[in-house]
Amino acid sequence: MTLSNRLSERVRSGDPVALATVIEGEGVGNHLLIIPGEESDGSLGHPDLDRVVHRDGLAELEAGRSGIRTYGPEGQTTPEDLEGTPTVRVFVESWAPPPQMWIFGAVDFTAALARVAKILGYRVLVCDAREIFATGRRFPMADEVRVTWPSPVFDERGETLGPRDAVCILTHDPKFDVPAVQGALATRVGYIGVMGSRTTHERRLERLAEAGITSNHDLERLMSPIGLDLGARTPEETAISICAEIIANRTGRTASRLRTGSGPIHP
Amino acid sequence: MKELLDDLDRWRTAGNRVALARVVDVEGSGPRGPGAAMAVSLEGEVVGSVSGGCVEGAVVTEALSLLHGEREPGIVTFGYSDDEAFAVGLTCGGTIRLFIEEFNW
């Protein structure tokens, strides 16, 4: 199997992989394929360089980052070692597993949100305890549909959620959304959005307080009411408003119009 | 590069020669980050993109000259700070560096 076959197999199946390529210096066009838990494949031109790039590549992959790193021809990295040596510049490209979006509540908005999330590259899980609503036929775009309460899903794999992931709670039903919020707050998930009007939000805060969720740190993590103020009406427009909020949270931007601002558009 | 995989496979199966251009570095304002990629076949078919459409035409020219043996694999720079001979820039004012190579590995 060629290096690119192995790479495309990993990328297609969503398994983590990084590709290191010499882009400048000795051995331009050499490749090294880096897979967690496996020997690296290919060579950049020197076994010591391969070993160091393999180590660095795993770290880049863990962080989901891609970028250029500079080494000596035998993998030297410290400024003293690099002085007076010809350098090799290596581009490490990471393919981290897709971010996850968990959507609680199998409602009209769910299908639209799942569709937009798929466009953005999320692996989408839809969860609702009501068997007649949570079906693969209603949500063919979802990667997984679960008929269950939120707690078992969080117990089972809440620890797989991280800063790149999102939990969107669209149920409006206290029986369901309180445990979903509790479950989400116990994870490292980057975005927690909870749907409902401002009145619903106030009532939900009371129920969350009864369930013992009162700390500011926790409550500040809740994006509720969910989404940006776009004046969205339809499920599809609402889905855009939710995803736009997820992007703005990640980038730390205020999400106002570009024409009213100044400075670089792509920071 | 993920979105290129099907076309890369198809070209490889058909025995077509292909050049791959990947964004490796972005300075200042740039529309697409490291890893954005496009591929150009010797027959002139193009898939993917590396900017908002600002430099794709010039990338095709570079890719074809690589496949014709008129240039080596290596880095191509586009942008205002470019002191090489490329007249093409990014409308957003940044600089991007691409690595162009033959996809034969």
Query: pLDDT tens across A9-24, in order?
Result: 999 988 899 999 999 9
Chain B environment of A94 (Cβ under 8 Å)? 35
- Chain A hits for B79, CB-CB cut-off 8 Å, are none
Mean of all residue pLDDT scores within chain A: 93
Split at pLDDT 50, 70, 90, the class of B52 is confident
Identify which of B24, B29, B72 has the shortest CB distance to residue A265. Answer: B29
- Is the pLDDT at A233 greater than 80? The verdict is yes
Q: pLDDT category, B95, cuts 50, 70, 90?
A: confident
User: B13 — contact with chain A (CB < 8 Å)?
Assistant: no
**Residue B101 touches partner A, C-beta closer than 8 Å:** yes
pLDDT reported for residue A267: 58
Average pLDDT value for residue range B15-43 = 91
Q: Closest partner residue to B99 among A23, A67, A95, by Cβ?
A: A23
The predicted structure's pLDDT at residue A250: 86
Give the residue-averaged pLDDT of A18-43.
96
Give, in order, the Cα–Cα distances in Å from B35 to each of A18, A143, A201, B2, B74: 11, 25, 41, 10, 15
Half-sphere exposure of B90 (CA within 13 A, CB side): 24
Segments of chain B assigned E as strands: 18-27, 37-41, 46-48, 74-79, 95-102
Report the percentage of chain A scoring pLDDT > 70: 99
Partner residue opposite B105 with nearest CB, options A3, A28, A95: A3
Interface mutation vs chain A, best among B54, B99, B102, B103, most A CBs within 10 Å: B99
Of B35, B73, B92, the CB nearest to A29: B73
Least confident of A204-218, B56-70, B73-87: B73-87
| Residue, of A210 and A98, whose pLDDT is higher | A210
Count H helices, E strands: chain A?
Answer: 9, 11
pLDDT over 90 at A155, yes or no: yes
Q: How far apart are CA B38 and CA B96, in angstroms?
A: 14
* Residues of chain B with C-beta less than 8 angstroms from the C-beta of A28: 72-74
Domains delineated in chain A: 3-95 (no CATH), 100-251 (3.40.50.720)
Please give the structure tokens belonging to residue B87: 């007249």
- Kindly report the nearest CA distance between residue B87 and chain A, in angstroms: 22
Alpha helices in B1-105 (DSSP H): 5-13, 56-67
- Residue B81 pLDDT greater than 70, yes or no: no
Average pLDDT, chain B: 86
The pLDDT, as a whole number, for residue A118 is 94
Interchain CB distance below 8 Å, A264 and B35: no
Report pLDDT for B79: 78
* Confidence at residue A4, expressed as pLDDT on a 0 to 100 scale: 93
Check if A95 contacts B (Cβ < 8 Å). Answer: yes
- pLDDT exceeds cutoff 60 at A49: yes
Lowest mean pLDDT, pick from A62-71, A124-133, A185-194: A62-71
Count of pairs with CB atoms under 8 A, one residue in A, one in B: 59
Average pLDDT score over residue span A159-182: 92
Q: Which long-range contacts (CB under 8 A, 24 or more apart) does B58-61 make?
A: B58/B86, B58/B88, B59/B21, B59/B98, B59/B100
Q: Are B1 and A91 an interchain contact pair (Cβ–Cβ within 8 Å)?
A: no
Predicted local confidence at residue A103, as pLDDT: 98
Report the pLDDT averaged over residues A246-255: 90
Query: Which residue of chain B is at minimal alpha-carbon distance from A19?
Result: B35
B101–A68 CB contact, under 8 Å: no
Interchain CB contact of A93 with B (< 8 Å): yes
Residue B82 is predicted with a pLDDT of: 44
Q: Which helix (H) or strand (E) holds A67?
A: strand A67-71
For B21, the closest chain A residue by CA position comes to A23
Chain A, 13-42: which have a CB under 8 Å from a chain B CB?
21, 23-24, 28-29, 31, 42
Q: What is the per-residue pLDDT for A121?
A: 85
Question: Nearest by CB to B24, which of A29, A68, A266?
Answer: A68
The answer to whether the CB of B18 falls within 8 A of the CB of A255 is no
Q: Is the pTM of this model over 0.80?
A: no
Tens of pLDDT, residue by residue over B61-79, are 999 999 999 999 999 998 7
Distance in Å, alpha carbon of A221 to nearest chain B alpha carbon = 28
Dig out the tokens for A159 from the structure.
């620890």
Residues 28-87 of B with CB under 8 A from A: 28-31, 33-35, 72-75
